[in-house]
Homo-oligomer: A and B are copies of this chain.
């Protein structure tokens, strides 16, 4: 079915139903079949893209709530498709940075075809001798988050001790590998034996523990890091943060990337040991990757050779097909995924 305004095609979408409190469910989203014209609107400076991979990231939980934080990402719009990072192929371009056929990663919609209205925030994919899905993880937002969080926020020094929570996730597995290559002693926590094995054997962490099997997190940290922690890469918040504060060393640094253990609570847990910030002169800094994207070329220059030489590895958990997207996203919050959760929506 074609017209002079472009072919009209089927366009499956994952629609966000309404704001969520508590634990999100698959039914907070709905897969709906819609249609779209395969043509940019007249005069558009956007891009019409076909989405290939969709990225499931913990920060998306914050967007399921009605947030009003200027400078943070907007909440999802009830009745509209979920938006997030993805890898896509340009079908039509109204923007000088991109042409038909280009591959890109950036903010797109959870639908088969999307119109990207801010192409200047997307990155053209130049290196295709790596799995394309890596641009939702290792070579995309989570990779840059790990890189900027570790090298820019943590101010690491060789020989320092580094602790990472949610360490087998999209970001954590990279922070640990970057820290090891940099010359730090690296310990991670994760939520299953399988994940702990990955940390120790695949990502070559010096030590790791399953937080679900530790009755006393303080004791677990003291066992793995008897000298204390110079750098904490914070992904979980709550009780783990409290235990870490007791084990930080003088002039330690805490990069706060996220607090996934808190996102589904009606009221976040209280953190009691903040006085350690003073006693040990600790810097605790929240950061968002948006502030560091200017470093992306420098990051690629470092990481692409490391991938090719096998110095950096990456574990992905790939959900196949568009219909699997809601469950894949929800699975993040029970830790069902092993490694970076991505949805493969099309092989083109």
Contact = CB atoms under 8 A, between A and B. Distances in A.
Interface stretch (A47-55, A117-125, A130-138, A251-259): A251-259
Contacts of A237: 274-275
Contacts of A276: 69, 286
Dominant secondary structure of chain A at its interface with chain B? loop
Interface in A241-282: 241, 250, 256-259, 262, 267-282
Interface string A50-84: 00000000000010000101111000000000000
A319 to B, nearest CB: 26
State how many copies of this chain the complex holds.
Answer: 2
A127 interface: no
Contacts of A262: 275
B285 A274 contact: no
Contacts of A32: none
Contacts of A273: 268
A19 interface: no
A149 to B, nearest CB: 11
A215 to B, nearest CB: 19
A273 B256 CA distance: 13
A212 interface: no
A290 to B, nearest CB: 9
B285 A282 contact: yes
Interface in A85-113: none
A291 interface: yes
B286 A285 contact: no
A287 B281 contact: yes
B287 A285 contact: no
Interface residue tally of chain A, by bracket? 35 or more
B268 A269 contact: no
A69 B278 CA distance: 11
A327 B267 CA distance: 40
B250 A71 contact: yes
A69 B284 contact: no
Nearest to A228: B70
Given A270-B270, A271-B270, A281 B277 contact: no
Given A71-B250, A250-B70, A277 B270 contact: no
Nearest to A259: B275
Interface in A174-204: none
Chain B CB within 10 A, most for which of A258, A284, A288? A284
B269 A269 contact: no
9 contacts: A256-B277, A256-B278, A257-B278, A259-B278, A268-B273, A278-B286, A281-B291, A282-B285, A283-B286
Given A241-B274, A257-B278, 16 more contacts: A62-B279, A69-B279, A69-B280, A237-B274, A256-B278, A258-B278, A262-B275, A268-B273, A268-B274, A270-B272, A278-B287, A280-B286, A282-B285, A282-B286, A283-B285, A283-B286
